[in-house]
Amino acid sequence: MRHGMQNAEEQTIDNDYKIIAVDDEEGILDSLRVLLKRTGYDLVGVTDPMEAIERVKNEHFDLMLLDFIMTPYHGDQVVEEIRKFDKDLYILLLTGHKDLAPPLETIKRLDIQGYCEKSDKFDQLLLLIESAIKSIKQMREIRKINKELSDTYEELEKAYLEIVETLRYAVEAKDTYTRGHSDRVSAYSVLIGEKLGLPEDQIKTLKIGGLFHDIGKIGIPDSILLKESKLTDDEYSQIKNHPSIGAHILSSVSYFKDMIPIVKHHHEKYDGNGYPSKLKGEDIPYLARIAAVADSFDAMTSRRSYRDSMDLSIVIAEIERCRGTQFDPEIADAFLDILKNEPEKIKKIQEEFNTEVAEKI
C-alpha cells in the first residue's frame, strides 16, 4: 500500500474527469478515495449496485471502477444494465478472486475496457486508471474533431441546398405549373415513404429528391416549356431530357448522390416503357418509383392551361388501372390506401402549397 501511495503522490493529472467506484465493502471505497485524491482525482463511492446504476443514468461519469463479486448483483450484471443506456462509460472491473473472474467472452461482449485483481498495492490499478484517463481524453478529442467536422459539413450542405434551391426557383419562375408542384411531389413522396415504413434517412432523401426532381427543366427552352398547344415529337424528345439534365446538375456534389436516382428516373415506368433509361420493375430505383407515383398524382390533380384538374375518384381509378404497368403495385397500393382512408393528409398538403384542387378532395 505504501509503495502505491508514493507513486500516487508523484502524479499531477488533470482533475477534469468524474470517477465512480462500486464495491459492497466500504473499506475498499475508503482506500480508493485516499488513493485517487492523492493522484488528483475525486471519487464518488457507492456500495449499492442498484444505486450505482441510477447514478450513472442520471449523472455523467467518465470512468467506473467496478467490483465483480457483489450482492445482490455481480459486476457483469451491473454492466449489462448500464450498457442499455450508456455505451461510452469506461469500465474497469476489479476482483479479489482470480478464479472467480468473469470469462473473457463476457468482458468483450459487455465492452469492459479493463480488468484488475485487487491487491494491497495499487500500482497496477493506478496504471490502468492512468491508461483509462488517457483513452478518455483521446475520445474527447475525437468527438470534438468529429463535431467540428460535422458542423463544417452541415454548413457545406446548407450552401449546396441553397444553390440548388436557387435553380429550382429559376425553373418555377419560368413555368407557373412547376410552382408548388415540386413541393407537393416532395410532400406526397414523404407521405408514401412513411406509409411504407421507410427509415428516416430515406425519408429525407425522398423529401429533397422530390423538391429537386424537375431541376433539369432549367435546361429546356422556354418556347417548349411554356407551350400551351400540343408538343411536336422533337419538342417532346427535348422535354424528356430534363431528368438527365437534372441528374447532371446534381452529380458534381457528393451530397446529392442519393437524390440523383430520383431526379433521373422519376419518369421510368414499371413495365419498362418510361424514360430516360427504359428501366423495368425492380431495376428502377425504389425511391424513384415512389416519386413517380407522387409526380403523376400531382400532374393529374393540378390545373393546366389546356385542361382542368381531375376529380379524386377519377385519379384513384387511374392509379388502380396503371398499377403494375406504370406504377410499382406495392407503392401504388400504399398511396391508394392513403387516398381512400386518409384524404385529409392529401388535402392538407394541397392547401399548404396553394393548389386549386384541394376543394375537390
Q: Which residues lie below 8 Å from residue 214, measured CB to CB, with a gap of 6+?
A: 168, 171, 178, 181, 182, 242, 246
For residue 54, CA distances in Å to 58, 63, 73 come to 6, 15, 14
Distances (CA, A) of 351 to 70, 210, 218, 245, 336: 63, 18, 26, 31, 20
Buried b (16+ CB within 10 A) or exposed e, 244-261: bbbbbbbeebeebebbbb
Q: Is the pLDDT confidence value at 162 over 70?
A: yes
Range in 2-6, 119-123, 284-288 with the lowest mean pLDDT: 2-6
End-to-end Cα spacing for the chain: 82
Model confidence pLDDT, tens digit, residues 96-108: 766 666 667 777 7
Least confident window among 18-32, 41-55, 130-144: 130-144
CB within 8 A of 43, min separation 6: which ones? 19, 20, 21, 29, 32, 33, 36, 37
In this prediction, residues 29-36 reach a mean pLDDT of 88
Using the predicted structure, report yes or no on whether residue 72 has a pLDDT greater than 90: no
Q: How many Å is the Cα radius of gyration of the chain?
A: 31
Q: What is the distance between the alpha carbons of residues 105 and 111, in angstroms, rounded to a whole number?
A: 10
pLDDT band, very low/low/confident/very high, at 318 (cuts 50, 70, 90):
very high
Domain boundaries, the chain: 2-144, 175-360
| CATH number, span 2-144 | 3.40.50.2300
Long-range contacts of 139-147 (CB under 8 A, 24+ apart): 139/88
CA 145 to chain CA centroid, Å, is 20
pLDDT in tens, 217-268: 888 888 888 787 888 888 888 889 999 999 988 887 777 899 999 999 999 9
Using pLDDT thresholds of 50, 70 and 90, give the confidence band for residue 307: low
Asked if 26 and 43 count as a contact pair (C-beta separation under 8 A), the reply is no
292: nearest Cα among 332, 238, 336, 258: 332
Share of the chain above pLDDT 70, in %: 88
Q: Does 175-360 match 2-144 at the fold level?
A: no
CATH number given to 175-360: 1.10.3210.10
Close Cβ partners of 354 (under 8 Å, ≥ 6 residues apart): 180
Distances from the Cα of 349 to the Cα of 3, 97, 202, angstroms: 74, 67, 20
pLDDT beyond 60 at 355: no
Report the catalytic residues.
Answer: 217
- pLDDT for residue 298: 94
Query: Does 65 have pLDDT greater than 60?
Result: yes
Provide the mean pLDDT of the chain: 84
The pTM of the full predicted model, rounded to 2 decimals, is: 0.59
**pLDDT at residue 176 in the model:** 64
